[in-house]
Amino acid sequence: MGLKLENISKSVDGETHLRQIDLAFEKGSRNVLLGRTLSGKTSLLRIMAGLDRPTSGKIIIDGQDMTGVSVRKRSIAMVYQQFINYPSLTVYHNIASPLKISGISKKELDRRVRETAEMLHLEDMLDRIPAELSGGQQQRTAIARALVKDAQLLLLDEPLVNLDYKLREELRVELQEIFRKRSAIVVYTTTEPSEALMLGGNVVVLDEGRVLQTGATATVYQRPETLRAAEVFSDPPINALDTAVADGMAVMGDNIPVPLTGHLADLADGSYRFAFRSNHLWLSSQMDGDLAITGTVELAEINGSETFIYIHHGKSAFVVQQEGVHSFAMGNEITVFINPEYLFVYGTAGQLVAAPPAAEPYNQP
């Protein structure tokens, strides 16, 4: 099965939700729609499912125009953010519900339900009703009900967002293995760059109803073609400072000198935006050639096992991401370090001019 979206736009009450989107998804592919809230992810997913019709454009499935075809006549399954299960049915009958109208034998139905339940570690809970399950178990049930259909198109709309951190991590790992074993086109939406990286496959970066960039997840992460794509595909958003290049030297932000070596060596004189991710700033020097930047702490925010330090340097502001729990008082002076090797260079219009030559640490799942 192949799925193509051709020039898809969607407007509601005069407000544009999607703008001229062209995408193609191949059979067996894993695809992540990455974007912030209201970027158009759910609108696009509902159009793929056949739940909504586009204002303009076509949906082509296996060479056939399916734009106006009912969702009931498409081979799709969808998982939502909320735990949508039938409250009066057992886990077994919740999972079995999509198969009961398919006409398969009771023996085949039972086999598929139990096989799918085992895949999602629900085999010991088949006689329970949803109210007797934890949140994670309820979402596993909803996912199992979608998977049991063996649909050609599997759509997941931020399915883990309402789970606690531990459950999200567990299910992310399990879902990767499940996706690998299926020939369906998988389309998964998320607001979290880390989740997109973990799922791997291909990514579509969305912003305000537009596609900013598509491609293999690792490639897009390592070479965002625009500053806006880099901001969306970074959490916290990538830091960007105005930079002037003249006479073989760059001055970044408020008088931070940057030598033009390596991938920066061929920059022509002019104005740029130098960008760097928060995890490439360190509290101590890590490499030869590190630049030292002294600034004032505005806020230190502890999030789990990481600390995000918000710093002002003159009129410039940026965020440092550090592993571990660190305590910094507001107003304290602090020195952080960055190596020019990790700097992205964007033109004043936001287009990529130069990217770090060495791939960032990244393991494709």
Q: How many residues does the chain have?
A: 365
Task: Choose the most confident range, by mean pLDDT, from 2-6, 64-68, 73-77.
Answer: 2-6
User: What angle do the packed helices 106-119 and 135-147 form, to 10 degrees?
Assistant: 130
Q: What is the pLDDT of residues 193-233, one digit of tens each?
A: 999 999 999 999 999 999 999 999 999 999 999 999 999 99
**Rg for the chain, CA atoms, rounded:** 24
**Considering only CA atoms, which of 43, 8, 41, 42 is closest in space to residue 24?**
8
| Band of residue 352 on the pLDDT scale cut at 50, 70, 90 | very high
Where do the domains of the chain lie, and which CATH numbers do they carry?
3-229 (3.40.50.300), 232-354 (2.40.50.140)
Q: Average pLDDT in the 41-65 region?
A: 94
How far is the C-alpha of 121 from the C-alpha of 114, rounded, in Å? 10
> Given its phi and psi angles, is residue 30 left (phi above 0), alpha (psi -120 to 50 degrees) or beta?
beta
How far is the C-alpha of 229 from the C-alpha of 238, rounded, in Å? 10
pTM over 0.85: yes
Residue 365 reports pLDDT greater than 70:
no
How far is the C-alpha of 179 from the C-alpha of 185, rounded, in Å? 9
Residue 125 reports pLDDT greater than 50:
yes
**Considering only CA atoms, which of 52, 57, 54, 50 is closest in space to residue 73?**
50
* More reliable by pLDDT, 294 or 177: 294
Looking at residue 101, the DSSP 8-state letter turns out to be T
- For residue 70, the model assigns a pLDDT of 83
How far is the C-alpha of 225 from the C-alpha of 351, rounded, in Å? 6
Instruction: Give the angle 99-103-105 at the CA atoms, nearest 5°.
Output: 85
- For residue 360, the model assigns a pLDDT of 54
- For residue 73, the model assigns a pLDDT of 82
Looking at residue 340, the DSSP 8-state letter turns out to be G
